[in-house]
Structure 1
């Protein structure tokens, strides 16, 4: 079941859901608007020119209120908000159609697990032929919350728990059991 603005507001007030900082105008009928933070990361140049999923990738990270996303460029960014989801709730990250119409693709793998706590790292891609100026504090998407039928047996406690800032991939830490 997707949560309504009434339920979201109630949960925020009682502290069972955390979204901070938040302004009342961010709470929509079935979502919470998320704003762009001021941390941006890009993969550093590598001599080999190949990303291996088995090795750590290094990122260059900057803090700025404005970032110029060039055509065809990919950058990691972060939300301004810090979230803490209870063990019986999940969330979906959705981009704003107004920005998608400019060629700005926003994703974060789309899913926030029950029990996750931290800022959400966003993957931004400029599919336009013009640069797009990104500005911290601007609404870039929304978080849609859904209630689980009961508490998760294994709430999230993974490698991105309590992350702050644009956090690079830690896929090299995965132990593949296949």
Structure 2
């Protein structure tokens, strides 16, 4: 029986071999990360009137019949327009055993484009969550919020992890881990996970982030290190140690702390309490084992924060706690770690836009 924890890469491979994960096109080795599997877009997108969940009694196909406006062929690349909602069937499907659940998240580069992507399932009542025993297809809802994008079949916008039994680390276990292998620079703020704050007093200069421009061209997701950041982003500078967030605006900021995910842990970024302000850290996703870990080529890596302000202008201060990392136990040691055996775009990162923009 599998030890409780998040499944490692070789355990994900075993699921593929035994039919727990299947696909209409063979799964490529590069899709398998230390603790997650990248999911691929199928050939068609459906423009829908509104975001939806299937609900316990219905399938996604049932709901598409209710809300579909038109069909988009993704072959050769197609534009998904800013402000519109699309549903795309994925190439992969799952057959989970009892006791195992799955959770999905946007990949790092997708979150940094303010591209809202959420996995939905047949009979599902939550986004990005797959219940134990689920046997069926996967779909992704895509809503470009800052930039229209060009997508094509086979591209990987989302990733999924697999949880066997109880995986969450208690605060006491997290403190013990930090004492053994420091997981953050400085004194940890531990309460239902590891708190992290925003850096608005950089060691050099006064560039603290970027704000998405409201009227831009499209971003082709196939083009890497290609776009001039100045065409899509306004730099945010401050000498005061604070900035004012504008309602509806999207910002890329960076954590003050350098974060470490040891080899036998994974982590998921969660929003902080709503009471701290009218903003939220965007869907920032999973952190694989080895992120920021010294033996995997890191010395602590900053967390990039995808921030959207809501109802009212809000003053964000240096060192203000804006989110938390929820650490989880791994079920086994991964064969590869983030940043060492696999090519990792963001190991040792600081303030950094997605890989589609020139450095």
Which TM-score applies when normalising by structure 2?
A: 0.36
Q: Say which SS state the counterpart of residue 38 (structure 2) adopts.
A: strand
* Unpaired runs of at least 5, structure 2: 56-62, 120-126, 167-359
User: Which is higher, the Rg of structure 1 or of structure 2?
Assistant: 2
Pick closer, same or farther for the CA change 1:69–1:147 going to 2, 3 Å: same
Equivalent in the alignment of 1:79: 90
CA distance in structure 1 between the partners assigned to 2:34 and 2:96 by the alignment: 19
CA contact (8 A) 2:82 2:144 kept: yes
Pick closer, same or farther for the CA change 1:91–1:81 going to 2, 3 Å: same
Equivalent in the alignment of 2:111: 100
Equivalent in the alignment of 2:31: 26
List per-residue Cα deviations over 1:85-105 (Å, max 9, x = no partner).
222211001101101211211
CA distance in structure 2 between the partners assigned to 1:83 and 1:39 by the alignment: 19
Which TM-score applies when normalising by structure 1?
A: 0.69
Equivalent in the alignment of 2:154: 137
Task: Give the 4+ runs in structure 1 shifted more than 6 A.
Answer: none
CA contact (8 A) 2:74 2:151 kept: no
CA distance in structure 1 between the partners assigned to 2:113 and 2:30 by the alignment: 24
Pick closer, same or farther for the CA change 1:44–1:99 going to 2, 3 Å: closer
Structure 2 matches for 1:49-128, cutoff 5 A? Answer: 57-59=66-68, 60-65=70-75, 66-108=77-119, 109-128=127-146
* Unpaired runs of at least 5, structure 1: 46-52, 150-178
Q: Tell me how many residue pairs correspond in the alignment.
A: 139
Pick closer, same or farther for the CA change 1:146–1:70 going to 2, 3 Å: same
Deviation at 1:16, TM superposition (A): 5.4
Of 37, 43, 67 in structure 2, the residue corresponding to residue 38 of structure 1 is 43
CA distance in structure 1 between the partners assigned to 2:117 and 2:6 by the alignment: 21
CA contact (8 A) 1:104 1:126 kept: yes
CA contact (8 A) 1:16 1:86 kept: no
Equivalent in the alignment of 2:187: none
